[in-house]
Amino acid sequence: MLNNIQTEQTSDSDIPESSKGSKHSGCIGFIIDTAETILLALVLFLAINALTARVRVENVSMLPTLEPGEFLLVNRVAYKLGNPKVGDIVIFHAPGVDDMDYIKRLIGRSGDIVRVEDGIVYVNDQPLYEPYIAQAPNYTGTWVVPDGQVFVLGDNRNNSSDSHLWGFIPESDIVGKALFIYWPLDQITVLHASNIVQAVQ
């Protein structure tokens, strides 16, 4: 024997006005929360993008420190808040090329005298201890860094297009300072100039 089961259909007219209002309020609240979350994410993205950059190493000029295919996080405001230091790995606009950036190591600052002799780099007659380079440079020369410019070299000294070939870089062309390698994961490395370049005593 089948039981008679009655179902009730409630029309909108039977729903209390207070319940309708709470449903509409909940929907509007959800939309507002979603919009606020999206706006906050956008603001954070723009802020992070303004302060940092992500760059990919494309060539061999910084071997063995940096390898092609590695990704670096770059501090865009490093030199707006402080001065460049010898040993910093910097990203800058390539000389004469608007849409290309280079990665090199900063060796000389404004007023410095950079000299390369017998495979050793000297800054203001002080030899630099550089265990990170691929080989000792096979070239010689002396450069006086003009005001407002810097002198840069690749760590792969004998296979790098850098200041020993085409001269100085305006400080205004520096995009930022490389902070660390973040990809591939097994290559994560913090790039500290103070731990890398130190004058021989």
Show Cβ contacts of residue 159 under 8 Å, excluding neighbours closer than 6 positions. 60, 61, 63, 134
Structural domain boundaries, residue 34 = 18-50
In a shared domain, residues 28 and 64: no
Is 18 part of the annotated catalytic residue set? no
Catalytic residue among 22, 61, 160, 172: 61
In a shared domain, residues 94 and 186: yes
Is pLDDT above 70 for 199?
no
Residue 191 in contact with residue 179, Cβ under 8 Å? yes
Catalytic residue among 18, 22, 23, 104: 104
pLDDT band of residue 124 (cuts 50, 70, 90) is very high
In a domain, 141, yes or no: yes
**Least confident interval from 19-28, 102-111, 152-161, 180-189:** 19-28
The pair phi, psi for residue 193, each rounded to 5°, is -65, -40
d(CA 78, CA 49): 14
In a shared domain, residues 136 and 185: yes
Is 61 part of the annotated catalytic residue set? yes
Is pLDDT above 80 for 92?
yes
In a domain, 4, yes or no: no
pTM as predicted: 0.77
In a shared domain, residues 69 and 45: no
Indicate the number of domains in the chain. 2
What digits encode the pLDDT tens for the residues 43-68? 776 766 667 789 999 999 999 999 99
> Residue 52: its pLDDT value, please?
75
In a shared domain, residues 38 and 80: no
**Domain holding 79: CATH number?**
2.10.109.10
* Token pair belonging to 161: 């297009």
